[in-house]
Copies of this chain bind each other. A is one copy, B any other.
Amino acid sequence: MKYASELKKQLVSFRKFESVRSCLDVKSDQESYRIHIGAGNWPEMVAEIQRALHPTQVVVAMDETVAELYGSSVLNALRDSGFAAGQLRCPPGESSKSTDMANSWWQELAGQAVDRQAVVIALGGGVVGDLCGFVAATYLRGLKFVQVPTTLLAQVDSSVGGKVGINLPTGKNLVGCFWQPSLVWIDPSVLRTLSEREFSAGMAEVIKYAVLRDDGLLSLLEEHSTQILARETEVMGLLVHRCCAIKADIVQRDPRENNGIRATLNFGHTVGHAIESLTGYKSVLHGEGVAMGMIAEARLAERIGLAPLGLADRLVELVRQYRLPTNLPKFTWEQWHQSMRRDKKNMGQQIAFALPSAWGCVALTRDVSLADVKAIVCG
């Protein structure tokens, strides 16, 4: 919490200049790219894309909901700058992350005679970002793409780091690759259009970063919940900036998930994914699963003596403050075990967890006994 006062100073400056914009540069094994954060308008975004990427053509990928909200303003901004802007459309929802939709978008790009100098914009949440990123990565062996995340979850998580992909009937994200965006444009003012439930789900990932890094985020979340829940643009810009900075730092040090650092981003996700899977990806949002999962995994860390007592309770308070569920749904141990055994982090029979040993300190561990796991999820 050492940076809390500095953070508060920043917050003051955000309030004074509502249009303040911040940047983060992310290095990757492909080209480096810049994340722009701040309230903005679409013509400014188009000007920045033009300046940084000088595309010959621009194609905007979005689902029907986002198209209705922002489609025509973005397309008009592009056309006003002289681009013949194409479109890729899909229905909203996870079911669009399919091989069928990827195939249909590839054919659309071929039909629109898109060439290697074109840029594709992923305008939307994680589904459109993942699908569009995968299609961009694989069309003509790779087109540049721009992430313009419109949900809180996508702004703080999926738009940074270069993981793109689609689902198979047998599992989520089984097909995909690493493909970095060439630019990320984040406007926190669009968060106002989210439902309360979707906004809270995104806050679960924000809370996760406060466990991963002790850089003042925790006290900001605890002390400014009123402004955050009101989605004030300046405080949201600051929050999103902090989260993206943490994520960018982590993925820069482990771009292809080789050394375990990137796996710490999975705190709360071993149990969270199991909840999502056991409820058929329907009744529980990803962020809600992560919220419950973080609490369960924090309790597990306390149980095995890794985390100090009290950490989990403070986390419960925070999760509750942001209107997220805290209690695990009921399943049999066999169901929990089957589901967690499929986690991609596992090797052999042990179940892997990213567990906190303190606020700001999370590490991947494979040494948790099944008896302890059972006591937590079934206790």
A111 & B142 in contact (Cβ 8 Å cutoff): no
Which residues in B have their C-beta under 8 angstroms from that of A139? 174-175
A107 within 8 A of B: yes
State A165–B141 Cα separation when bound (angstroms): 8
- With A29-B29, A99-B103, A103-B99 known as contacts, the answer to whether A110 contacts B174 (CB < 8 A) is yes
- With A29-B29, A177-B177 known as contacts, the answer to whether A110 contacts B140 (CB < 8 A) is no
Which residues in B have their C-beta under 8 angstroms from that of A106? 99, 168, 174-175
Contact of A178 among B134, B141, B176 (CB under 8 A): B141
State A75–B146 Cα separation when bound (angstroms): 44
Which residues in B have their C-beta under 8 angstroms from that of A111? 170
A171 within 8 A of B: yes
B141 & A110 in contact (Cβ 8 Å cutoff): no
CB distance from A324 to the nearest CB of B (A): 29
- With A110-B168, A168-B106 known as contacts, the answer to whether A174 contacts B99 (CB < 8 A) is no
Scan A146-177; emit 1 where CB is below 8 A from any B CB, else 0: 00000000000000000101001111001111
State A170–B174 Cα separation when bound (angstroms): 27
Q: Which of A138, A169, A177 has the most CB of B within 10 A?
A: A138
A177 & B110 in contact (Cβ 8 Å cutoff): no
Count of A interface residues, CB-CB < 8 Å? 27
Which residues in B have their C-beta under 8 angstroms from that of A175? 106, 138-139
- With A106-B99, A107-B169, A168-B106 known as contacts, the answer to whether A142 contacts B174 (CB < 8 A) is no
Which residues in B have their C-beta under 8 angstroms from that of A169? 107
CB distance from A113 to the nearest CB of B (A): 9
Which residues in B have their C-beta under 8 angstroms from that of A122? none
CB distance from A160 to the nearest CB of B (A): 16
Scan A64-99; emit 1 where CB is below 8 A from any B CB, else 0: 000000000000000000000000000000000001
Interface contacts beyond A99-B99, A99-B106, A107-B168: sample of 10 additional A-B pairs, CB < 8 Å, sorted by A: A106-B175, A110-B168, A111-B170, A137-B177, A138-B175, A139-B175, A141-B163, A141-B177, A141-B178, A142-B177
- A residues with a Cβ closer than 8 A to B are 29, 99, 103, 106-107, 110-111, 116, 134, 137-142, 163, 165, 168-171, 174-178, 344
What are 15 residue pairs bridging A and B, where the CB atoms are less than 8 Å apart in the complex? A99-B103, A106-B168, A106-B174, A106-B175, A110-B170, A110-B174, A116-B344, A137-B177, A138-B177, A140-B174, A140-B176, A140-B344, A141-B163, A141-B176, A141-B178
Top 9 A-B pairs ranked by shortest CB distance?
Answer: A110-B170, A99-B103, A141-B176, A138-B175, A110-B168, A141-B177, A106-B175, A138-B177, A110-B174
